[in-house]
Structure formats: C-alpha cells, structure tokens
Amino acid sequence: MRATFHLKTLAVAIATFSVASISNAAGLDRSGQDITAFLQDGTYAEAVYTYIDADVSGYDNQRVATDDANYVQGRDTGEVAESYDFFRYGVKTDINDTFSVGVLYDEPFGAAAAYNGDSNFVGAPTAAIDGLITSQLAGKLPGVTTAQGLDTYVKGAQQTLAAGREQVKQAEAAIAANPALESTLRPQIVAGKAQIAAGEAQLAPLQGLNGYAASQLANTEGTKVEVRSENISAILGMKVGANKNFQIYGGPVAQRVQADVKLRGSAYGPATGYTSHISPDQDYGWLAGVAYSKPEIALKAALTYRSEIDHSMDITETYPLAGLLAGNPAAATQTNNMEITTPKSVNFDFQTGINPTTLATAKVRWVPWGDFSIVPPLYNAVSKNNPAYGPDGLALVEYADDQWQVELGLAKRIMPALAVSGTVGWDSGSGDPTTSLGPIDGYYSVGLGAKYNVTPEWAVSAGGKYLWFGDAKGQLPTQQIVGDFQDNDGYIVGVKLSYQGN
C-alpha cells in the first residue's frame, strides 16, 4: 500500500528553511524574494526577522590601482561588510476551494559596506591627488608632481605677484610725487601691470587645483555604501484541474528603493570625494507563477517569475572633480533624475515527502545581474571627459555575470510538536573581479534550524546559516584592481512566528 504524507502533518517538519533566508548573495540580492508563504494551505501568516553578520576583509593595492597582472598586495582593509538585518511578512487565505489571496512584504535588494582603518579606501587620498596633479600639469610645470609641490609653487607665485603689485604701486606713487618721472616710469608700470595680469591668468587655474587638492586631502572619511529596498506583493491565485492540483497566481508588486554612496581614499583616483544620495522612489512591477501539489506525498512545486521594475529617481551628487573641470566649485553638486531598473528573477521551489516524518526541499533562483547597472548622471558625465571610456562613459556599479543560486534541504519531525532541518547551498556570484562596494563572489552555505509548534496553529522557528564567501578582486568601473578579498565568511540567523489555520 502506498504511503500517504499529509501536508498538515509534515508542516511541522518544515522547520526553518525560509527563516535564515538567502542573503549576501550575488549583486544586491538579499531576501531571495520567497513566496512560499502564499503556497501554504488554509489561512497562513508569518513574520520573519533575519540578521546577517559578514566578515569580509582583504588587502588594498600597494600600487593603488592597476590592471590585475600588476596588483601588489598592500595594507589590510579591515572588516568591510556591515551587519545587516531585514524583515519579511506574509499573510494568505483561501476565499474558497478555488481562489486564494495573499500579501507579502520583503526587502529584496540591499548593500551595507563601510571601510575603516588605514587603507586606500579611507582617509586623505594623497596618492590619488598627486596622480591627478601630475596628469593635469604634465608639460606645464615640470617637476611639480605632488600636492605639496603645487602648494609651494602657488604660494611662491602669489608672493611674486604681490611683490610686482607693490612695485607698480610705488612707481605710481613716485609719479604722483614727481610728474617729471612720468615718461620714465609709465612704460615700466604698463609692462608691470601686463606681466601681473598674465601671471594672475596663469595662476588662477593652479589656485583652483591647489584649493581642490587641499579640500580633498582634508577629507579623512572612509568609503561607505548603503542600499535599501522594500517590496509589497499582492497575489491572487486560482486552482485548476480536476483535483485542483494546479494553481496559477500573480499580481502587482510595489517596490521602494533608496541608496547612499561615498567614495573615499586614493583607491578611487580622481573620483575620490564622490558622494551621492538617491532619494526613495516607489514604482511598480508584477509577478506570475504556476504551482503543482500532490498532497498524498506532500509534493509541492512552484515556478515564479518577477518582472523588472523601472525606477525614475532623484539623485543628488557631489563630485569635486566636476567643479575643478568646470572651473566653478558650484558645479560639483547637482541634483538630477536617474533611471534604475531592478532585475527580473525566476524562482523554483520544490518539496516532497520521503516518509511520513521527513521532507526534502530544493530551491533554485536566477537573477540576470549582468544586465543591471547604476549610472549616476554627474558621475557618468565627468567620466566622458576621458576618451578612454568612450561616448557612453562609466557606470558606478555593474556586474559581469548572472546569478544562479541553489539550496537543498531535509526536514525531520522528531517529536509531535518539534522538527529540525538542515540545508546546503551554493551561489554563483555575479563575477570576479567585482565592485569594491561589495567584494565577494558567491558562497557555499550550510544551515540548521528548528521549529516548535506552541499550539496546533502557532509555531516559533529559529535557524542559522554559515557561509563561505568566494574570493574576489575589488574592481573600479575603470577596470582597475584596487583590492583582493579572500578567505571570508559570515553567518545568518533568523526567527519566525507563524500561524496556520483551516
């Protein structure tokens, strides 16, 4: 006789697969956009809290920024990744035996990184400023290749001009006292004023460059990035088929995104000092999927597609180099509109009973991060001044590869109200080298969890995952390598409160 694995019984065994959910994955992926709450039977609600602590550190480039072949290990960056937490909520109910409705909240995309300590990502960007001065003054002021050298030259030139003005003043005073000196001194005065005017014209851009250098060298902050997002998905499902084993579902998605970025230190070259604030923006997309269930063996399978979401966002950028190039410090700060498209995704969720107390699960996720980029208008416009970056200029953030993510698990009911679970996972990452604002390339993970039913309807779950991050080189948009990040790891812990009724 064939075994029957009732989902209601096995629900206890589905311990905490979705508590310590997919996090610190490729690109900006965080929550994994789980929809399994909607696939539960009857009336269901959950609240999930997830905390991530990633230990990510490496070494900067002793040569500041070079191609990969010329990278030389420099100073320890210290820990880069900041702790990060987020919530997920879900509620779902059956209207009748055909239709179901649900609302899900999650925080799908995010980043939190901050550089501290003594490295090329922190503090006075001496090497970057000296390099900029060398390139700006090549062929104009031989021998002036540092900020200190430029400051000395500017102060010397100012003293020379001041002495010239004093000589002109004295000559004009002499003529006023003795008009007979007019014919002798006037030509000298005219020539002196012409020389002073020429000197002032020559000195003006150097004073601007010197002021720019001084202000940047006074900035001792560290590089920092924070990205936050929120999703609310409203879902309507309809069961079809003779036994209503199939379900099609879909609905609108509201998404809110905001971000802050600071680039500091010599690692970013002329871009050091760049700051941007992306104001919160809410836009809309959709999701659609199909699910199949076979209750007698506790089998459920679901395939879910989420659309891209186009955001039109206000961004305020401060880019000191822009003010220098324009000869106008006010041009360094601009507020513009920027377009960002968060990526589409496909999730596959699967579970099946192995015996009446054991459940096997699998999750697969694909996100095309290779199509994603962040292109701030001012940052991009300044990059176009360099012919090497072509007519399109540079993006601030982009990724080389798409993300694939796989997680396999087992859950076992060991007591009527207690179950435990274990998972193993893999994330492909989104390319190596990758952005220095999130320098990991995927991960391997193991997870453990437990679920306790306080009553037949109410349950508390807790779980955790340990992650081994893939090694990655930190790369600038210019394709230069600025850091090497190896042998990093992290952990995730989560708790969930859930309710399931008829």
Shared domain check, 188 and 88: no
The pLDDT mean for the chain works out to 91
End-to-end CA distance of the chain: 28
Shared domain check, 314 and 251: yes
Please answer whether residues 22 and 40 qualify as being in contact, where contact means their C-beta atoms are separated by less than 8 angstroms: no
How many CB atoms are located within 10 Å of the residue 422 CB? 17
Among 196, 218, 240, give the residue marking a domain's end.
Answer: 218
Flag whether 293 is in a domain: yes
- CATH, residue 422: 2.40.160.60
In this predicted structure, what is the pLDDT of residue 18?
52
Residue 361 banded pLDDT, cuts 50, 70, 90: very high
* pTM exceeds 0.85 for this model: yes
Among 201, 218, 235, give the residue marking a domain's end.
Answer: 218
DSSP lists the bridge partners of residue 333 as 318
Please answer whether residues 84 and 37 qualify as being in contact, where contact means their C-beta atoms are separated by less than 8 angstroms: no
Shared domain check, 239 and 206: no
DSSP lists the bridge partners of residue 262 as 224, 275
Flag whether 1 is in a domain: no
Shared domain check, 466 and 353: yes
Shared domain check, 78 and 165: no
Encode 365-429 in three state secondary structure.
EEECHHHCEECCHHHHHHHCCCHHHCCCCCCCEECCCCEEEEEEEEEEEEECCEEEEEEEEEECC
pLDDT in tens, 156-172: 999 999 999 999 999 99
Query: Which three-class secondary structure state does DSSP give residue 197?
Result: helix
Shared domain check, 182 and 94: no
Shared domain check, 198 and 83: no
Flag whether 239 is in a domain: yes
Shared domain check, 444 and 298: yes
Shared domain check, 372 and 477: yes
Number of structural domains in the chain: 2
Residue 475 has pLDDT above 80, yes or no: yes
Nearest of 492, 497, 495, 496 to residue 51 by alpha carbon: 492
DSSP 301: E
Shared domain check, 207 and 247: no
pLDDT in tens, 285-311: 999 999 999 999 999 999 999 999 999
Among 163, 192, 218, give the residue marking a domain's end.
Answer: 218
In this predicted structure, what is the pLDDT of residue 138?
85
pLDDT in tens, 170-225: 999 999 999 988 988 999 999 999 999 999 999 988 998 998 889 889 988 999 99
Domain housing 198? 126-218
Shared domain check, 211 and 159: yes
- H/E stretch holding 438 reads none
In this predicted structure, what is the pLDDT of residue 25?
62
Residue 6 banded pLDDT, cuts 50, 70, 90: very low
Shared domain check, 111 and 136: no
Flag whether 174 is in a domain: yes
Flag whether 94 is in a domain: yes
Amino acid letter at 442?
Answer: G
87-100 b/e (C-beta count within 10 Å ≥ 16 → b)? ebebbbebeeeeeb
Please answer whether residues 460 and 414 qualify as being in contact, where contact means their C-beta atoms are separated by less than 8 angstroms: no
Phi-psi region of 144 (alpha: psi -120 to 50; beta: other; left: phi over 0): beta
DSSP lists the bridge partners of residue 222 as 122
Please answer whether residues 482 and 436 qualify as being in contact, where contact means their C-beta atoms are separated by less than 8 angstroms: yes
Flag whether 121 is in a domain: no
Flag whether 334 is in a domain: yes
Distance between CA atoms of 230 and 226, rounded to whole angstroms?
Answer: 14
Distance between CA atoms of 463 and 492, rounded to whole angstroms?
Answer: 8
Flag whether 243 is in a domain: yes
pLDDT in tens, 255-284: 999 999 999 999 998 899 999 999 999 999
Residue 2 banded pLDDT, cuts 50, 70, 90: very low
